[in-house]
Chains A and B, each alone.
Chain A
Amino acid sequence: MEPPKIWREKRQRYLGIGVKCLDCDYKAFPLTSFCPSCGSGNVQEYKLAEKGRIIQFTQVNQTSNDMMANVPYAIGIIELEDGIKVTGQIVDIDYSLIEIGMPVRMVLRVLSKDGTEGLIKYGFKFIPVD
């Protein structure tokens, strides 16, 4: 991944910053400068809900080189409490114990490493809620 892209996306990836429309209340992620629903430019950044539940999930065994250190890992679609849906890894739990509907919480983790000397890319993943 190119450094300008990491810089551009860092607040979304590190903090989970989305956008909400002050005119129609629509919420969206990733960031946009206007409301994807009503088109209004009257939008404000906000922090996504940290908690959500698993909609569907599976396991990844083969991916690009910079993420191969983590395989096999679980990936799923998570619906957050504010209604936003995102794709993310489900970590800190044995794969056989993951279930649809399971409550999870957003955490910051390493997503990929470009070799031993390249950039390390961070982003959010999900862990089970106790």
Chain B
Amino acid sequence: MNNEDVFIIGHGMTKFGEHFDKSPSSLASQALMETVTNAQLEKELIQSIFFGSLVTNTNSQASVGASCIRECNLSIPLTRIEAGTASGAAAFQQAFQGIRSGLFDCIAVVGVEKLSDFVNSSTIEKILGTTIDYSWEFEMGATLTSLYALLTKAHMKEYQTTLEQLALVPEKNHRNGVNNKNAQFQKEIPLERFLSAKRISEPIGRFDPATHCDGASALILASSEFVSNNLKSNDLTEVLGLGHASDHLALHHRESLTALSATQIAAKNAYDMAGISSADINVAEVHDSYPIGEILAIEDLGFFPKGEGGLAVEEGKTKINSEVSINTSGGLKSRGDPFGATGIAQIIEIVEQLTGQADKRQVDDHNFGLTQNVLGTGAMAYVNVFGKKEVKK
């Protein structure tokens, strides 16, 4: 180990779903304390916390982090990071930078969202509207779902991607989610249900999008020095590479409707930093908020050639223990999508896979894992690459 190495030493999350009896900060506290227990640390060793959340004012409380650390009886620096539906991954990357810079040795990251408090679905549409170009897309009548419908139609037209191939994405993810005790929906949905459902924004059907729910997730990151001083021998997950890139906020300003260039650039940067290629990745959690999201992701991350994502899904190349195991947790679709908590839950799944704790979802080869978290229709993308490392004392 050298001083620049950054490790994930603890992880924890609440079940995702509807928590009508819990406030946003109590969900965050629950995930944080579970993570402290998981890391077998004294919580006072945490030096700083980054919170990832999109909705600024659930229950009129601006900084959910402030009430969370009060509940946990901590008085340490805290910062809330907002990057839309990718806020969790953004907070994670800030924590990484905090340790890599040498400023801190041990940082917690918490992602939280409480969306069941918004009982009117129009309010959620408006929140989602803030992740696209609010003035020139949302106020003109477009919604996040309708923009993903445009991306879907463009891919179908250009590459002959079929509705069946698209429906196989959530069908697979629900099958994976059956074995994830923290998933909102631990049940299979037959392919036919996706295909026969009413179209909410043609060609997207009612069962295609991920659901917007409640949940919190947390990680503790530490430097190699902190690991040698405070932890016993263990299999740890090492953060090998990060990538973060942006693109035009509005779809109509983009060069292409059949690729997310932010994902492509972020992936290249993450692979370069890690010194590996897309072919080395065994297991990946990608942003499948809509079926086309996963198909674009597996192409733009370099797992499959452009235009062949739909075919790869159809041929079963993304199932557990296939060419590359995609969304073994069930993805956003089956796990549920509490925006800020999603990016961190993706990393938790990779940590469990790389350290062999994924139980019935466990993939056989688990040397390298990847997460991809996207803001809106791809205006920002965060890609992280992880490896496993045996730490001996």
Contacts and interface: CB of A to CB of B under 8 A. Distances in A.
Most B CB contacts (10 A, CB to CB) among A59, A64, A68, A125 go to A64
B257 A56 contact: yes
Contacts of B201: 58-61
A75 B252 CA distance: 12
A123 B142 CA distance: 13
Interface in A15-66: 30, 55-65
B154 A60 contact: no
B352 to A, nearest CB: 35
Contact of B139 (A77, A85, A121): A121
Contacts of B146: 58-60, 75
Nearest to A6: B139
B141 A111 contact: yes
A78 B141 CA distance: 13
A55 B154 CA distance: 9
Q: Is the interface of B mostly helix, strand, loop or mixed?
A: helix
B149 A64 contact: no
Given A30-B135, A60-B146, A67 B202 contact: no
Contacts of B125: 62-64
Nearest to A28: B253
A1 B139 contact: yes
A77 B252 contact: yes
A59 B252 CA distance: 16
B150 A57 contact: yes
Given A57-B150, A58-B146, A59-B202, A65 B140 contact: no
Contacts of B257: 55-56, 77
B150 A68 contact: no
Contacts of A100: 157
Contact of A62 (B145, B153, B154, B202): B145
Given A56-B153, A59-B202, A64-B122, A73 B141 contact: yes
A58 B145 CA distance: 10
A9 interface: yes
Nearest to A121: B139
B199 to A, nearest CB: 8
A62 B143 contact: yes
Max chain B C-beta neighbours (<10 A), residue from A5, A68, A76, A77:
A77
B137 interface: yes
A58 B153 contact: yes
Contact of A58 (B129, B137, B150): B150
B141 A60 contact: yes
Contact of A87 (B129, B136, B199, B200): B136
B126 interface: yes
A122 to B, nearest CB: 11
Interface in B14-54: none
A129 B19 CA distance: 51
A87 B150 CA distance: 11
B250 A87 contact: yes
Contact of B149 (A1, A55, A58, A86): A58
B251 A63 contact: no
Interface string A80-108: 00000111110000000000100000000
A63 B135 CA distance: 14
Given A60-B146, A63-B143, A100-B157, 18 more contacts: A57-B150, A57-B153, A58-B202, A59-B146, A60-B142, A61-B201, A62-B125, A63-B122, A63-B141, A64-B129, A77-B251, A85-B252, A86-B136, A86-B140, A87-B133, A87-B141, A111-B140, A123-B140
Closest 8 pairs (CB-CB, A-B): A58-B149, A85-B252, A65-B122, A64-B126, A89-B141, A77-B252, A56-B150, A87-B137
9 contacts: A58-B201, A59-B146, A62-B145, A77-B150, A77-B251, A86-B136, A86-B140, A87-B250, A121-B139
